Chain A
Amino acid sequence: MRYDLSIIASWIEPGSKVLDLGCGSGDLLHILSVDKGVRGTGIEREEGKVSRGIEKGLSVLHGDINEEVADYPDGHFDYVILSQTLQQVYDPARLIREMLRVGKRGIVSFPNFAYYRIRGQLLFRGRAPVSRELPYEWYDTPNIRVITIRDFRRFCRKEGFVIERETAVSTPHHHEKGAVVTFLPNLLATYGMFLLSRRGA
C-alpha cells in the first residue's frame, strides 16, 4: 500500500464507518474493508473509477466531493478522508466544516509546499516548483492552493478545527516506502497528514 495511505489506515479504528472524498478506484477503502472491517463509501468524479470501485464491492457515488458530502446526516461517519485533494479545493474551510459535520473526525493530507527542494527551485532557479509530488507546470496544474504544514496548522486554529493528531512524512510520490519526519517537518517532509475534529465535539 502507498505509504501515506498506510498511515491514514493506521489511524482508523476497526469496524468504523468511513467516507473517502475523491476515492479514485477505491484502493484505500478496499484495504480498510478487508483489513479492518470498515464500512466505507467513496465519492469520485470519474465514471471509470467509480465503476471500478463498485466492482471492488464498495459503495461509491459518482459526483463532486463538495456537493456530495452535503447530503449526509450529522455524524453519520466515524471518519471522513480527504487524501491529497485539498490543494484542488476551491473553498477548503467550507469543505472541512462539512467533513466534520457528517463525520466525527476528518483526515486531511496534502503535499507540503514548504519542502526544501520546492523552496530550492523557487529560490535558486527562480522557477515555479515542479516536483514528483506536484508534477505540474503553472499553466496546467489542477492544484489551485499552495499549502504548507505550518499554514495548515494556522488555518485550523483560525477555523476552530482541533488537530488531534499530526504526522509529517517523507515519501516519494505514490510510493510504498517512506519515513515519518519529526525534525523540522515543514522543511523536510513531502506530505502533511492531520486528524481533525470539531471544537467541542
Chain B
Amino acid sequence: MSEYIEHAPSGTSVGRVEKRFFTVAEANGPLTVESGRALGPVVLAYETYGQLSQRADNAVLVLHALTGDSHAAGYYEPGDAKPGWWDLMIGPGKPIDTDRYYVICSNVIGGCMGSTGPSSIDPATGQPYGLTFPVITIGDMVQAQKRLVEHLGVARLLSVVGGSMGGMQALEWSVRYPDMVRTAVPLATTTKHSALAIAFNEVARQAIMADPNWNGGNYYDGVPPAHGLAVGRMIGHITYLSDEAMRQKFDRRLQDRCENSFVLEEPDFQVESYLRYQGQKFVDRFDANSFLYITKAADYFNLEASHGCGSAVAAFAKAKCRYLVASFSSDWLYPTYQSRAMVQAMKKNGLDVSFVELEAKWGHDAFLLPNARLSGMIARFLDRALVDAAKEDARAL
C-alpha cells in the first residue's frame, strides 16, 4: 500500500478520532499463534467511527494492507497533514457511511503502529522482542481481531472490507468465523500469495537483512537499518504500480537536470528520485522487523491449504457470507485471474458473489485511489447488507 491519500469528492470527514488500545490476550492467558508459540500480552491499537446500533448489526470491520494502520479515517489533531489512509471511503455520507455504520479498524499484530509486534517490549526480558517475536500469519491477525470485535459488543459483523493484505484478512474472516460475517469485500487480493509476490517480498526482506545496522533484528537501542528498509519499500512501490502507470507518471524524464549526470550515485531519472523519496519517507514511520514479519505473514497466506486441504472449493465450503470481489486490470501483484479463481470457488459452493474487474491503469494501488464505480458499488453493497440484516432479524423475532 502506498502513500496515496486523497479526500473523497463527496461527504465530509469523520473529524477528530482517537487511537485506543485493547489487550486481547494477557501474559497469563496468551494467544497461541499458528506456529504453535504462545504470545502474551497482546495489545491491539484500534479506532472506531460512528455508533454501534442497538441491535449491534451495523459494524463494519475495515482491514488494512501491509503497511497500513488503525488510522483509516479522520485526523488525530486539527493540524494533521493527512487524514487516515482510506478517508475517501470512510466518513459521513461516504461509501462506508459513518452516519449509518459502526466502523472498526485495528492495527495488525506484528505491526508497529500500537499493536504488539517485534518492537514491543517482551515482559520476560524487559527488552524489545526483535527476532524472538513469533512468526505470525494472517490467521493470527484475524484471531486477535475477533477478540477485539467481541469486546466491542459485536457478535456478527455486517461486513469485513479490505484491499490487498486487508483483502486476505477479509477472506480469512469469512472462512474462519463464518457465523460472525454477513458480507465480505475482498479487493485487489488473492487466496494465496503467488511465487511472484513471494519473490518481491523476499528481495525486500533481504535488503533489510543485508543492512549491517539490522544486526540480527537487534537495533532498537542503536541505529535502525534505514537503508535496507528504504530499499525494501522501493521494491514494494514498484509492485504497487504498473508499466503503464510508470510510463505515464515518469517515463524516462530526468529529475532536476537536462542531461545525464554520468555519476553513478546520482539519481538521474524521476522514477529513481520518486522511489528514493518513498523509501526515505517510509523509514520514519515503519519498523524494519515489523516489515519482515508482516511480509512473511502475507507470503504464508494460503487459504486453500489452511482451510481446504489445498482446495479453494473446500475452503469456501465453510463460508456463509455474500461477497463483493473486485480486481484491477493493471494489478500485476494480484492479477485478475486470482480473483476469478476465488470467485469460481465461491460459485461452486453456491455462494452469492458479485465480481468486477475494474479498468484502472494505476496498478495494484488502484484500490486506494478515487474510483466512482468502486465507491458506488461498496456503498450499495453495504446498504443492501444492512437491509438484509434487518429483514433477517425481523424474521427471527
A interface residues, Cβ below 8 angstroms from B: 39, 41, 47-48, 50-51, 54-63, 71-73, 76
Is B226 located at the chain interface by the 8 A CB criterion? no
Q: Are A59 and B347 neighbours in the complex by a CB distance under 8 Å?
A: no
User: Which residues in B have their C-beta under 8 angstroms from that of A72?
Assistant: 347-348, 350
Judge whether B395 is part of the interface by a CB distance below 8 angstroms. no
Stretch binding the partner chain, chosen from B80-88, B149-157, B374-382: B374-382
Are B347 and A71 within 8 A (Cβ)? yes
| Given A57-B383, A61-B343, A72-B347, residue A51 in contact with residue B376 (CB < 8 A) | yes
Partner of A60, one of B322, B340, B354, B359: B354
A37 to chain B, nearest CB (A): 11
B353 touches A61 (CB 8 A): yes
Q: A71-B344, A73-B350 are in contact. Are A51 and B355 (CB under 8 A)?
A: no
**Nearest B residue (CB) for A43:** B355
Q: Mark B377-393, 1 if CB is under 8 A from A, else 0.
A: 10111011000000000
Known A-B contacts A54-B377, A54-B380, A55-B376; the reply to A61 vs B357 at CB < 8 A is no
From DSSP, what is the main secondary structure of chain A's interface residues?
mixed
A112 to B377, CA, bound (A): 37
Give the shortest distance, in Å, between A174 (CB) and chain B (any CB): 25
Determine if A47 and B359 form an interchain contact, defined as CB atoms under 8 angstroms apart: yes
Given contacts A41-B352, A61-B343, A76-B350, contact A54 B357 (CB under 8 A): no
B380 pairs with A55, CB closer than 8 A: yes
Alpha-carbon separation in the docked complex, A63 to B354 (Å): 11
How close is A71's CB to chain B, nearest CB, in angstroms? 4
Partner of A56, one of B324, B343, B348, B380: B380
Distance of A57 Cα from B374 Cα, bound (Å): 13
Bound Cα distance from A68 to B309, whole angstroms: 25
Which 5 pairs between the two chains have the least Cβ-Cβ distance?
A71-B347, A51-B373, A57-B384, A54-B377, A62-B356
**Bound CA span A72–B353, Å:** 11
| Separation of A183 and B374 alpha carbons in the complex (Å) | 49
Task: Looking at the assembled complex, report how far the CB atom of A93 sits from the nearest CB atom of chain B, in whole angstroms.
Answer: 23
Contact call B322/A59, Cβ cutoff below 8 A = yes
When the two chains form their complex, are residues B354 and A54 in contact, meaning their CB atoms are under 8 A apart?
A: yes
> What residues of A have a CB within 8 angstroms of the CB of B376 in the complex?
51, 54-55
> In the bound complex, how far is the Cα of B303 from the Cα of A126, in angstroms?
62
Pick the residue among B349, B357, B380 that contacts A47 (CB under 8 A): B357
**B358 on the A face (CB < 8 A):** yes
- Complex CA gap A50/B374 in Å reads 11
Complex Cα gap A39–B351 (Å): 12
| Given contact pairs A55-B380, A56-B380, A57-B384, A62 touches B350 in the complex (Cβ within 8 A) | no
Known: A71-B344, A71-B347, A73-B348. A62 touches B380 (CB 8 A): no
A residues in contact with B343, CB < 8 Å: 61
Minimum Cβ distance to chain B for residue A50 (Å): 5
Min C-beta distance of B376 to chain A, whole Å: 5
Which one of B355, B358, B380 lies within 8 Å of A57 (CB-CB)?
A: B380
Complexed CA–CA distance, A27 and B183 (Å): 24
Contact A71 B355 (CB under 8 A): no
Assess the A54–B324 pair: CB atoms within 8 A. Answer: yes
Q: Chain B residue with minimal CB distance to A39? A: B352
Q: Is the CB of B355 within 8 A of A63?
A: yes
Query: Are A61 and B355 CB-contacts (below 8 A) given A71-B348, A72-B348, A73-B350?
Result: yes
The minimal Cβ–Cβ distance linking A43 to chain B, given in whole angstroms, is 10
Residue of A nearest to B355 (CB): A61
Instruction: Given contacts A47-B356, A61-B343, list 16 more A-B pairs with CB under 8 A.
Output: A47-B359, A50-B356, A51-B376, A54-B380, A57-B381, A59-B353, A60-B355, A60-B356, A62-B356, A62-B357, A63-B340, A72-B347, A72-B348, A72-B350, A73-B349, A76-B350
